[in-house]
Amino acid sequence: MIAWDQALAAPRDPAPPLPSDRDALLRGFHPDHAPGAMERLRVGVSAGQPCPAALADLLQSNALVEDVDIAGRAMREAEVLVLGGGGAGCIAALTAARDGARVLLVTKLRMGDGNTVMAEGGIQAAVGAEDSLQRHYEDTLRAGHFRADKALVAAMVRDGPASIRWLIQQGMGFDLEEGEDRIGGHLLRKKPGGATAARLLSFRDYTGLELMRVIREAVLLTPGITVLERHPVVELLTDPHGRCAGAVLLELGRREIVLARAGAVVLATGGAGRLHLNGFPTSNHYGATADGLVLAYRLGAGLREVESFQYHPTGIAWPPHLAGTLISEAARAAGGLLFNGLGQRFVDELAPRDVVAAAILREIAEGRAAAREGCEGVLLDTPGLEAANPGILAKRLVTLSHLAHRAGFDPAREPFLIRPTLHYQNGGIAIDAEGRTAVPGLFCAGEASGGLHGLNRLMGNALLELVAFGRRAGAAAVEAARGDRPRGVGLTHLAAWERGLVAAGLPLDRRAPMVFPPYGNVDLAAMLRQRVAA
């Protein structure tokens, strides 16, 4: 560990680092491989799969509600019910409504409160003359250690160019090449980590916020969509044939249970960063508590790659009150270098994220980190980036500059102290190319789904995924909803689930989903019990 003043005074050596054994680096230092990080699921359709212990506790929990809780409750009706108000959910709702369906869009917090708005770096799509769908496909599979579903990856990259056109049609802005006119200009393309071509499209360094701005406006202006905010989902409903037919919601304002019935349900509830796996801080929003995984799994949907999480290399390490806040990969894509406390480069900054994160953790573990007020990390050389590209911090890396201001320093004069932050759920609910799960009537899109990223996600593929599969799941849900309206809906699936818990020797008094992280001081189970008693 090197003191901050010594790390700043160390001469920088910009020479390319020596290559490392990637597999040995990941096994030795990536948090997914930490001793005791994983356990095997003991109940459910994916029993036997490895899973982080904290997530396994939630997946193998009993429901928050029972039949008595929902008896006589008000019922909302829709053809398509979308659970989640981030990018994937809003795009699925838009697609379904424009196909003529009556849509109920339900959010835990407010519409747009999710990880989408914090996606800073950009969106990948093979739109360059020197690029191809095949290269994007191969880059995605390679980055994910060839564990991704090839059919899903092919569908996503094939939808890439059309997804960008669709976003532009909705009113989304993109950065243009230097000197290009706003009308008819060429999109600025950058090369993201792990890619073989420049295919990252962005809007400054707040691309997700720009995407969510235009999508949210479109939802509010589209007839046929009813939005319920501050209504977290606490259970899914089934009909007598095992079809997903709606959801149990909790209206937070009045603490009342509300039921929603629909011909098809799209689950777009996001990731699990607020579980703080392995004790890491997170870049995720407050509601990222794996609710969708818990509810879909209890209903019988299979999971895949739930042992794999992405730790973004560049989370803020100092000051402590900003720990885990994301610094976009756009800084490294623009030429920002990483140095340890000795002034040495130690990794290719544009290697896949799992490699860069593991390399940073290696420097910390082996004593070459810089330390500031007890916080350890490595240096993101923003002064060097600004010197090489005058004005880049003010014009292109706006969010980074705002973060530095909040931290109390000038990034053109002083580097950031950074270390990995828990960022993305690589796996999730198993789906097909139209977003269908194994449960009839249940679809999934966005970070809650699995199969698109394997064991590591490429920068920019998350935004592409939520556009491509939000549209695919929304369209497929409309088709599924055009049959008979579900009847006799209830919680019939819970009896079999409880028998499975008992057979596996698991407790019945552990309840999930979590809905809010424990430090939020919101005990949903107690709240629901109080409402029933009243």
Which residues are catalytic, by number? 353
What the block records as the tokens of 87 is 């990018």
Of the candidates 119, 51, 471, 47, which has an alpha carbon nearest to the alpha carbon of residue 270?
A: 119
Q: If phi over 0 gives left and psi between -120 and 50 gives alpha, with beta otherwise, what is residue 311?
A: beta
Whether the bond into 319 is cis, omega within 30 of 0? yes
Residue 428's DSSP bridge partners are 304
Helix (H, G, I), strand (E, B) or coil at 126: coil
Q: Are 309 and 426 in contact (CB under 8 A)?
A: yes
Structure token pair of residue 533 = 């008693």
- Cα 466 to the center of its chain, rounded Å: 10
C-alpha 403/C-alpha 416 separation (Å) is 10
Closest CA to 492 of 67, 29, 198, 190: 67
E strand or H helix that includes residue 38: strand 38-40
Between the alpha carbon of residue 251 and those of residues 105, 233, 255, 415, the distances in Å are 14, 9, 5, 45
- Cα 507–Cα 490–Cα 520 angle in degrees, nearest 5: 55
451 contacts 199 by C-beta, under 8 angstroms: no
Pairing of strands 103-106, 442-444: unpaired
- The CA distance from 284 to 270, in Å, is 10
Looking at the DSSP assignment, which residues form a beta bridge with residue 422? 282, 311
Kindly state the helix (H) or strand (E) to which residue 209 belongs, with its residue range.
helix 207-221
- Residue 90: which of 480, 453, 473, 479 has the closest Cα? 473
State how far Cα 48 lies from the chain centre.
24
Amino acid at 440: P
Phi, psi of 479 (to 5 degrees): -60, -45
Those residues with Cβ within 8 angstroms of residue 519's Cβ, 6 or more apart along the chain or in another chain: none
| Tokens found for residue 52 | 């982080």
> CB neighbours of 142 closer than 8 A, spacing ≥ 6?
194
Pairing assessment for the beta strands 244-251 and 416-425 based on DSSP bridges: unpaired
Amino acid at 374: G
